[in-house]
Structure 1
């Protein structure tokens, strides 16, 4: 999962955009990129994204390929890791200096849209500059906010359990089945932890309380929604849902089956390719289904299993990420043309090979399969998407404004249980009170 961003994101000033628009071209990252009518006029597009080395390398190759066929377009690439990405972006948004194209996450797109940091791309979609005809309509809608198209989805993804068959076999345990339960999940990791002497049940780099995605799955599996329809409060009333989640992970941490809070801090410093599941020290890791592909250069043997209790419709197809264009960009049309090519070009996607998740374009997916361009990990990620499509529920709306603070409140409550500072019931009550106050403050009309 992911590192929480600080409160800068939540408190972006709605007036910042007006201030930045008034700045005449001296400070903004995009203000010197004046777009002209002539096809031969030089354009520089500043573009930023988060990811690991594999993503950085593949994306740079794609940028270079685009420049080869569009010699008037050059890129200023600003690759980054996840940690600190949104802290920096929120500062740039407040000062009007965001790059032209920004890789945007579903957790935060509504916050940036609400603060008028993202351009409305509807005109480019409507005119066909950005062709969305091969993108699932439900996925495409996830980039909408208040009637505007503020993000073009690049991929689809779903939560999955990545497992290490080598570690499981060495422990004498059985690999997961498609119909396994949380009890089965715990039993598997107990066997491996007993064999290795190390925590086995991981939850990505940021840990089980790194954000609310895995908890969202837990809530949905019980027929509830994490947030209410207008995003002004939590969407479920029973705090036992939360306390049961805290209790499960507290017991696993106490039994050395999952990392405790201090161990998780150490794991977080390792990065994805250094996670114990990748280095053959743990059995499972709850992540998005592109994870085995992302770390395949470090370990090509990882496999995917559906989430425990997946039959209960807790899963959803999530836009892996978006490309958005900053409202302050002076080259919006050139950005739109590039995003269209990035999403729909077979050439580009034969380089990217689903590194950001299963491509949103059905034509691109078909081409990659037909041309046998996929590794075993990539094929499995594509197949996983098809498999869970039969059991997924409706894709929820983008997380409401204030999600960064909600994530912080969730982490604080969950870690207080791990440290023994609060009971699970006390922590669940604390989370509800803090989350509802945050959501009301950020989303009430």
Structure 2
């Protein structure tokens, strides 16, 4: 009897101990991502930008990690050109970050390859709450009917200038109603005033296909691409573009090719505009304040890109976006991060107008009182010019190759390796081959 009682007691204690362990495991496994679970998740986030942007984004990430202690964010960043080269390699290698900064010019290339996660279900269910977004802002993140990116901010480009530099040179400020002929005349006027100490403007002939050349093409009633993904502009438009810049280069109004390469990729504080080597700079309006912070005197103002008399407007809505990659193993955590980034009050106060005013209505209202004078000027400019914008076709698959082709041929002209005519012919033929024409 005693042995039976002892055996029964031992079995009962073992059962109770097992039950307690099982209960603890269930409680631990059922905790939410914000409830202090010991299981840690790491997501990666990549973006492009300068030193100031990196600091802001790191502040926002710090806030997110504090609010979500079980989610760690691996931070990947770099300059504009390096960013896209790295992302292309990461996507091809199957190790793309969970959350990536995205751009309208490149989104369709990644979306059509299935590299970006379609967010429709997350948005419709409220898992990714964008109910505060105006329809236009939400639609700007679509490729076809699929939401594949979420707007951080909306911006518009133009030409910026420092009033102190123009006053010192004795040159009148540019006006927003100027034409391309006015632009060239102003460039020569600046060069005459600045002498051997600098140039009127950086070489804008190559680099990206957009936004400057795209404006030029759209003002001719054309565009970079058609809705069907074919080349959307004629040879003569490109010939006129490269001829204009080549003539200014030969006349010393813009820097020679070697000087341009020397300054290419330098941080904002060391570039030609910040160091007053040039007096004009093509720039998204949201970056105006960065230059005013760097310059001891003067006010940074902005005017529209030049236009063609009697031609259509070149403007189209531009913005900076966040996307979740299809390869991400942590899409829910990635969605939490995006929602926090674009809607958390403290986060948007840090972001302010870093890549344009926030797209969400409440977030936009939150930052208004936080803006400095140059940021307010940028918002006013964006609000004015966005009304002039018209839709633009998304870039087709293969746009990265086209970017390289465009840049290489523009550089070949700059170094005297090709004539304008030869470069145009080479670009058009190879571009059509890339696009399957």
1:357 aligns with 2:356: yes
CA contact (8 A) 1:239 1:425 kept: no
Deviations 1:256-275 (A, max 9, x none): 11123222101204233212
Task: Look up the match of 1:155.
Answer: 153
Change (3 A) 1:234 1:75: same
d(CA) in 1 for partners of 2:334, 2:408: 39
d(CA) in 1 for partners of 2:412, 2:60: 45
Task: Look up the match of 2:32.
Answer: 38
Task: Look up the match of 2:201.
Answer: 201
Q: CA shift at 1:37, angstroms?
A: 6.7
CA contact (8 A) 1:167 1:281 kept: no
CA contact (8 A) 1:167 1:192 kept: no
Task: Look up the match of 2:283.
Answer: 287
Deviations 1:344-375 (A, max 9, x none): 22221111111122221232222222xx2001
* TM-score for the superposition, normalised by structure 1: 0.84
Q: CA shift at 1:252, angstroms?
A: 1.0
- Please tell me whether Structure 1 or Structure 2 has the larger radius of gyration of its CA atoms: 2
Task: Look up the match of 1:263.
Answer: 259
Task: Look up the match of 2:270.
Answer: 274
Task: Look up the match of 2:421.
Answer: 425
Task: Look up the match of 1:26.
Answer: none
1:247 aligns with 2:237: no
Task: Look up the match of 2:330.
Answer: 331
CA contact (8 A) 1:113 1:150 kept: yes
Q: What is the number of residues matched between the two proteins?
A: 398
Change (3 A) 1:360 1:88: same
What secondary structure sits across from 1:242 in the alignment?
helix
d(CA) in 1 for partners of 2:278, 2:161: 8
* TM-score for the superposition, normalised by structure 2: 0.85
User: Which deviates the most, 253-262 or 290-299?
Assistant: 290-299
What secondary structure sits across from 1:177 in the alignment?
coil
Which 4+ runs in 1 deviate beyond 4 A?
none
| Counterpart mapping for 1:5-84 below 5 A | 38-39=32-33, 40=35, 41=37, 42-84=40-82
Task: Look up the match of 1:212.
Answer: 209
Q: CA shift at 1:402, angstroms?
A: 0.9
Task: Look up the match of 1:117.
Answer: 115
1:388 aligns with 2:382: no
Of the three residues 150, 156, 164, the one matched with 2:162 is 164
Q: CA shift at 1:146, angstroms?
A: 5.0
d(CA) in 2 for partners of 1:344, 1:38: 21
Task: Look up the match of 2:370.
Answer: 373
